[in-house]
Structures are given as structure tokens and as C-alpha cells.
Amino acid sequence: MPIVPDPLANMPAPPKPTVPSAPNPPSGKCSSSAGSTTCPSGSYSTISQSGNGSLVFPGTVYQIQSVQYNGNGSVTFGSSGGGNFFYFTGGGLNISGNCNVTFYPGTYVFNNSNFTITGNCSITFMPGQYQFFIINGTLALTGNMNTTQINPAQMSFYIGGSNASFGITGNTDSTLPPGLYYIDGPTVQLVGNQTIRGQNVLFYLDNGSTISVVGNTSYQFTGSTTPLYPGMQPGLVIFQARGNSSTLRMVGNSSSQVNGIVYLPSAPLQLTGNASGTWATGQLIVNSLSTNGNVNAVVKYQEYVKIAIPTVSLVPYAAGTP
């Protein structure tokens, strides 16, 4: 049968974000009182705290080498006043314990720095516009994610650089914030005995990026019905850039599921593992499709975009017609 024309050929790719420059604010100084530490706007080296106290960054412009917090208290970044800009230049943000972490809208840059929150921390994003940039660092978020107040179109993540990684590992289930994930070079590594969930997400895989599922990792990703950038087809959940021919290997186990459109205009999709049952609900629009292993995965068709499918039909034969 002939190749089906690409129904999304005219859909634009998401615009590549521009990484902000370091703000270089004047030196700041933290103050502590009754177990609470407050760090006003400014430039800092390492800020470290443990225990049950709170750590507060009330806004607005920061340049910090690293923040280390391990405890059962709370950590707050920014305020509702707007203009929050956090620029990390060293170890980055590393939070663990049973704490409550609150982010206010703004721009968060991790330059050669990590953005990691582990343990049983509760993570809340207040309503508003967010931009996260992870350059040559690692994004790893676990814990209880509160994103009910977030508009997915107002949150974006850019992960780039030769040493960058989007590595979610370990045995702790994790939930990704909604929004656009622009992966520029690194491979998304899903490793460990855990379940990774993402509602209203889009992974855009540029510059050779792809996704690798290892071990017993389960994932449940659902595309956004709200466009996350101008011209986006609603329902898109994975979009591997035009010209990116890296093989996308997915499935893993039977608990994994993708809901929405998987769009690989230049790349093959390979389903691997020993999975069975419904793996995807939506549409697979790919360059080619193959399986490896004992895959018995079902793709339940749900139409998001019209596809012109070639048909074979019979026509009346007239005597004497060549």
C-alpha cells in the first residue's frame, strides 16, 4: 500500500527557548529567626539547612551556587508579586526529606546545575507562567505533586547541553508537572522499579534526543488537549523533531500507557519488552513501526487528526476496455 501522507506536515514545531543570561545581582545575606531562614534577593554561594525549619526566598532576582535542604519543614521560592528569577550556577537545587516545597511563577535556570527534589516532599506550583532551563544538569522530581492550579500552557521545561540528563531513577513513583518538555540533545532515561506519571505533557525531542525505557519502569503519559504552543495539534504527547531519525524504543511493561498522538515523522518506533494489553490510546503517526520481544501491545484508536487512508475498490468492467 502507498505511504499515507503526513497529516501533521504543516504543524509547526515548538519554538526553541532562549536561555537567559546570569543576572549578577549584588551579594545577599540570609537571616535566621526561630528556626526560619529568609534569604532576600541577591547573590549567594551555598545555602544549606536541615531539620524542621523553613527556608524562604521571598524574591525577586537570585544567583545561587546551590541550595541544600534536608528536613521536614518547608522551602518557598519567590512570591506572588512577579518578576521571580532564580539562576543556579553550581550544585543547583537539591531538596530531600518530608518537606513542603512551594514555587511561585517565574524563570528558573540551572546552568551546570541539578534540579532535584527527592523523598516524600510535597511540591506545589502556584498559578502563573513558568520557564525552567536545565543546562548540563539533571532534572529529577519525586514526591507528591500538586498541579491542580496550573495551566499546562503556562509551564515549559528546556533540557539541553552535552551533559544534560532527564533521568528519573529509583524505586519512588514520580509525577511530572504538566507542560512542554523541550529535550535538546540528551536521552530521556526512565529507569527503576517505579511509575512515572505525566498529565497534559508534551515531549519534544530535538537534536538527536530520544526516550529509553529500562527495567521495570512504568509510565503513564497523556497529551494535552490545550495547545502548549501556537499551532500545536491538541492531544500531541510525543513529537520527535523532523530530521531526528533516532529510534524511539518504548513499552517496557504492561502497566505502561501513552494517551494521545505519538508523532515521529523521521524516525522509527520500536515496541520492546514483554508487555500485553492496551499500550496506547490515540494515534501513532511514525516513519516506521517494529516490535522486539514478546510484545502483544494493543493500540486503541482515538482520532485526533484526520488521516487519508488509501483504499482498494472494485469498479465495473466494460467489454472492450483495455
242 found inside a domain: yes
**Count of structural domains, the chain:** 1
Interval 218-245: pLDDT, tens? 889 999 989 999 999 999 999 999 999 9
Phi–psi pair at 25, nearest 5 degrees: -75, 165
15 found inside a domain: no
The CA-atom distances, in angstroms, between 111 and each of 156, 170, 250, 305 are: 16, 24, 30, 38
Containing structural domain, residue 178: 31-246
pLDDT for the residue 169 = 59
Interval 84-138: pLDDT, tens? 999 999 999 999 999 999 999 999 999 999 998 888 888 999 999 999 999 998 8
pTM of the predicted model, to two decimals?
0.91
308 found inside a domain: no
292 found inside a domain: no
Cell digits for 27? 551579594
107 found inside a domain: yes
Phi–psi pair at 48, nearest 5 degrees: -130, 135
The average confidence (pLDDT) of the chain is 88
60 found inside a domain: yes
26 found inside a domain: no
13 found inside a domain: no
